[in-house]
Structure 1
Amino acid sequence: MLLTGAQILIECLKEQNVDTIFGFPGGAVLNIYDELYKSSKEIRHILTSHEQGASHAADGYARSTGKVGVVIATSGPGATNLVTGIATAYMDSVPMVAITGNVPVSLLGRDSFQEVDTAGITMPITKHNYIVKDVKDLADTIREAFYIAQEGRPGPVLIDIPKDITINKTEYIKAEPKVVDRSLDEIDSTSLDVAIELIKASKKPFIYAGGGVILSEAADNLLKFAETIQAPVTCSLMGQGGFPGEHPLYTGMVGMHGSKASNIGITHCDLLVVIGARFSDRVIGKADSFAKRAKVLHIDIDPAEVNKNIKTYHHIIGDIKGALEKINNSLEPMDREEWITEVTELKQKYPLKYKDTCLTAQYVLEKLYEVTNGEAIITTEVGQHQMWAAQFYKYNHPRTFLSSGGLGTMGYGFGACIGAQVANPDKVVVNIAGDGSFRMNLNEIATAVRYNLPLIVLVMNNHVLGMVRQWQNLFYEERYSYTTLDRDIDYVKLAEAFGAVGYNLTEKEEVEEVLKKAIEEKRPVIINCEIDKDDKVWPMVAPGAPIDNIMVGE
């Protein structure tokens, strides 16, 4: 069948079972958009307000479903506007395919109108990228891109397509998607045996789980593993939802803003089983003090992460789900009552606390958990509100907490919220924002309204850049350099101007009623929550300090 490059692209997307694309049209992708128009019954296109919003939406779609997120943008500024979203996905191992247009092949490298070296720009922040210079290579390139995005440690792949490639014709032959092989052949049986003996010999094992547990669909396997060996479990920010937040063995988040029970437990354990985590500096603090009494057993699919930040005693390289299945099949239930009692007492002695005399973000999040029965999908921007969302909303299922962990992208949450709501139309989807982060991409209110998405944005409005101010307060002698926003934006009027619904929250007594109303609206809702500018995220470990050296604040 003789087809144009644009037609081949659409057919290949159908091969990959793509049902949704996020994007923004432009001259270099006009032929692609023309074919999208003809295929609108099979592939839904969500037009965002900005390409960055589209990239974050594709990311949120991917994180909440496990499918590949797809985003499309035109050449030049369209492509460069995707860069932050691609980098966000890369840092957090999110499967995404970004499709960009470019000038015709004959004009490449000539500083043509809206030409940039998209492949060169994105090389450090993609698993792989392509520039297609022959239409005969297009179909195979697209198929390979989707495979690479999903296999091993997932991540974003970019395909740059010059405009003439979308016009040129070649023979198209339909193909089935290549199956992503989760084979365990590469896992050495001796490595498994050593790990099992370490687990059996341990008296005080502790499990530190990261985002890899969610990416490998291994949450059930982790639960069985923890219950079998009777070990407490802590999760990184990216691991939230990988282990049930209400489970008795769960100790809360680990690291800079982790619970004291988690940080002290890791410091006191004799075996630290690290599953699908990369030992971020925000987790380990002072590296030579991290888990200093423990043997470290690391299970991860990416060999580059082993011994990168923390020296391991033993490691297993391979798919986490398969590795845990094999380990679980070789273990009998264990009794570690004394150790579990010790950690449980830490949880009881050092609970998360906050002031209860006025409206706080922590109180709003606890009420949100009650009102939604813990079943909402939560997205976040980046800052204090992000940490509070990780601490005070309990995540009992994977793919229900979507946040920019590695890159720390302010403005991520609203786009991700749109993507997650599009992918999960029957779910309550809530974006937890700060007023600083929210303003970065609030133009996407227009997108939410256009598609009548019943999402909710909770703006924790302290009129400052809260997390930066917290550091200025603690480490810079209260020199608040350019972190005080002091802009009296009427968020209710702002929401209404876009066609959304707006609410103001100033009192604790209003919270439950407003949240219930927002859910019942079944359309975009912006809730402005007025909180104190000096509320802080506690506990906190100073950067570079040992993680058991914990500040608890007021």
Structure 2
Amino acid sequence: MTNHALSGAQVMLDCLKREGVDTIFGYPGGSAIPLFDALLDSNIKMVLSRHEQGATHMADGYARATGKVGVVLVTSGPGATNTFTGIYTALMDSSPIVVLAAQTTTPNLGKDAFQECDTSGMTFAAVKHSFLVKDPNDLSRVVKEAFHIARSGRPGPVLIDLPKDVTAGNCTASFSDEIDLPGYKIPAHADPEDVAKAAALLKKSTKPLLLVGHGAIISNASRQVKELAEKLNAPVVETLLGLGAFPETHPLSLGMLGMHGTAYANKAVLECDLIMSIGSRWDDRIVGKIEEFCKDATIIHVDIDPAEEGKILQPDAFLCGDAKLVLEQLLPLVSRLDTEDWVKTCQTYKKRYPLTYPKQGGLRMQHIISTVYELTKGKAIVT
């Protein structure tokens, strides 16, 4: 299929539809006019924010709630720079978003033109990848690659810098399903030797603890996490973004650990002889003083991002791969551990240090949250 009479902006919108985009969040401006004009003839819904940072946070929230890639559309210069806080939030929390930032015309690039800035250069430290498109015929390939990078492996934000003459100009290239990203490798299964090593370490443990992070949710590993916890008879703690990966009502659940976590989760962390992180990056909010964190415990780390190995803590075994696939490799190699006393101890801590609040007096935040939970039967998305 060849597009003889389509503008770059029209091709962009067609490419977005091919990626399953049904909603865009953004704020208009001069350099983005060709894209907003194309949106008029499109069935993609445009959500108008009051500020570009808000649009980026909205796209991030949309990505988390739907599992799809969130899309942002803003104008050049201040429009683009206003997105940085939202972009960095998505990077820190591994949230897949694509930011379409309009730009001055290509002849004006680098000449301090009206509302020009080096958007792609300025965002390099905040994104998985930045693209600056200088030819309308590259648009289809760039969109395909941008969405692939945003949603694959460890998800994250991608920015496409779009000069006005590129989106207004004619595009005659065919739609591309080709992806040419040399050096971009996505780990899947872990090295079998590393998996066997982790299984051997688990076998020796009498006080194991599973630490479940956001990576377990991103890889849809909830069923495998539950199966592993039950097979080992190991208690489970979660990070803030890992909440929901393991049922909070399960007898083995100890809730969230760290400085904002439960007392009983932190007691378990203090006393375990092995901690296995599944998709957590050992954030400082949960680790605290590194030299004191699980200092006598064996550490197993499962993560899709090889850069996480030894970044905070040096693991005894590092399993690089997709959490769901890695757990599927590990499950046949493990069996129930001698943890009856350990589980009883953890359950004693749950009773001794429960999450409570005084019911008398004024209306408390905990009371409101608890009531909302009961009224919605836990089905609501609360922001």
TM-score range, shorter chain: over 0.9
Of residues 308, 331, 340, the one that matches 2:311 is 308
Partner of 2:70: 69
Partner of 2:293: 290
Partner of 2:376: 372
Partner of 1:278: 281
Partner of 1:18: 21
For 2:81, give the aligned amino acid.
Answer: T
* Contact 1:6 1:167 survives alignment (8 Å): yes
- Aligned-partner Cα distance in 1 for 2:309–2:244: 23
Partner of 1:341: 344
SS of the aligned residue for 2:299 comes to strand
- Aligned-partner Cα distance in 2 for 1:14–1:371: 37
Q: Alpha-carbon deviation of 1:134?
A: 1.6
* Contact 2:153 2:187 survives alignment (8 Å): no
- Aligned-partner Cα distance in 2 for 1:329–1:95: 32
Partner of 1:108: 109
Q: Does 1:354 find its partner at 2:357?
A: yes
SS of the aligned residue for 1:378 comes to coil
- Aligned-partner Cα distance in 2 for 1:217–1:36: 33
SS of the aligned residue for 1:157 comes to strand
Of residues 256, 259, 269, the one that matches 2:259 is 256
What pairs up with 1:331-480 in 2 under 5 angstroms? 331-358=334-361, 359-379=363-383
* Contact 2:195 2:319 survives alignment (8 Å): yes
SS of the aligned residue for 1:203 comes to coil
Unaligned runs of 5+ in 2: none
SS of the aligned residue for 1:75 comes to coil
Of residues 37, 40, 53, the one that matches 1:37 is 40
SS of the aligned residue for 2:24 comes to strand
* Contact 1:15 1:174 survives alignment (8 Å): no
- Aligned-partner Cα distance in 2 for 1:175–1:164: 21
The CA deviation string for residues 333-362 of structure 1, in whole angstroms up to 9 with x for no partner, is 445211110110011111112232221111
CA distance 1:322–1:177, shift in 2 (3 Å): farther
Partner of 1:125: 126
CA distance 1:304–1:365, shift in 2 (3 Å): same
Partner of 1:496: none
* Contact 2:205 2:337 survives alignment (8 Å): no
Partner of 2:218: 215
The CA deviation string for residues 166-201 of structure 1, in whole angstroms up to 9 with x for no partner, is 1222323234486x997735x211111111111122
- Aligned-partner Cα distance in 2 for 1:58–1:210: 22
- Aligned-partner Cα distance in 2 for 1:236–1:183: 23
Of residues 144, 164, 184, the one that matches 2:188 is 184
What pairs up with 1:212-251 in 2 under 5 angstroms? 212-251=215-254
For 2:150, give the aligned amino acid.
Answer: A
Q: Does 1:164 find its partner at 2:178?
A: no
Greater mean alpha carbon deviation, residues 238-247 or residues 66-75: 238-247
For 2:379, give the aligned amino acid.
Answer: E
* Contact 1:8 1:172 survives alignment (8 Å): no
Partner of 1:477: none
What pairs up with 1:520-535 in 2 under 5 angstroms? none
- Aligned-partner Cα distance in 2 for 1:5–1:278: 40
* Contact 1:54 1:71 survives alignment (8 Å): yes
Q: Alpha-carbon deviation of 1:250?
A: 0.8
- Aligned-partner Cα distance in 1 for 2:335–2:291: 34
Q: Alpha-carbon deviation of 1:6?
A: 0.7
Q: Alpha-carbon deviation of 1:241?
A: 1.1
The CA deviation string for residues 90-136 of structure 1, in whole angstroms up to 9 with x for no partner, is 11010110001011011112221111111122111000101111222
Greater mean alpha carbon deviation, residues 337-346 or residues 107-116: 107-116
* Contact 2:210 2:277 survives alignment (8 Å): yes
Q: Identity percentage over the alignment? A: 45
For 1:161, give the aligned amino acid.
Answer: L
The CA deviation string for residues 152-176 of structure 1, in whole angstroms up to 9 with x for no partner, is 1110000010000012223232344
For 1:154, give the aligned amino acid.
Answer: P
TM-score (norm 1): 0.66
- Aligned-partner Cα distance in 1 for 2:105–2:119: 14
* Contact 1:151 1:181 survives alignment (8 Å): no
For 1:28, give the aligned amino acid.
Answer: S
Partner of 2:81: 80
- Aligned-partner Cα distance in 2 for 1:257–1:305: 23
- Aligned-partner Cα distance in 2 for 1:63–1:341: 35
The CA deviation string for residues 493-546 of structure 1, in whole angstroms up to 9 with x for no partner, is xxxxxxxxxxxxxxxxxxxxxxxxxxxxxxxxxxxxxxxxxxxxxxxxxxxxxx
The CA deviation string for residues 206-263 of structure 1, in whole angstroms up to 9 with x for no partner, is 0111111111111111111111111111111111111111111111211112111111
SS of the aligned residue for 1:377 comes to coil
For 1:74, give the aligned amino acid.
Answer: T
- Aligned-partner Cα distance in 1 for 2:286–2:332: 30
For 2:270, give the aligned amino acid.
Answer: T
- Aligned-partner Cα distance in 1 for 2:28–2:255: 43
Q: Does 1:152 find its partner at 2:153?
A: yes
* Contact 1:276 1:320 survives alignment (8 Å): yes
What pairs up with 1:481-496 in 2 under 5 angstroms? none
**In angstroms, what is the RMSD of aligned CA positions?**
1.8
Partner of 1:134: 135
Q: Alpha-carbon deviation of 1:321?
A: 0.6
For 1:130, give the aligned amino acid.
Answer: F
CA distance 1:266–1:177, shift in 2 (3 Å): farther
Partner of 1:516: none
- Aligned-partner Cα distance in 2 for 1:170–1:369: 51
Q: Alpha-carbon deviation of 1:32?
A: 0.9
* Contact 1:16 1:177 survives alignment (8 Å): no
- Aligned-partner Cα distance in 1 for 2:58–2:178: 24
- Aligned-partner Cα distance in 1 for 2:115–2:127: 22
- Aligned-partner Cα distance in 2 for 1:290–1:97: 37
CA distance 1:183–1:314, shift in 2 (3 Å): closer
Q: Alpha-carbon deviation of 1:45?
A: 1.3
* Contact 1:22 1:70 survives alignment (8 Å): yes
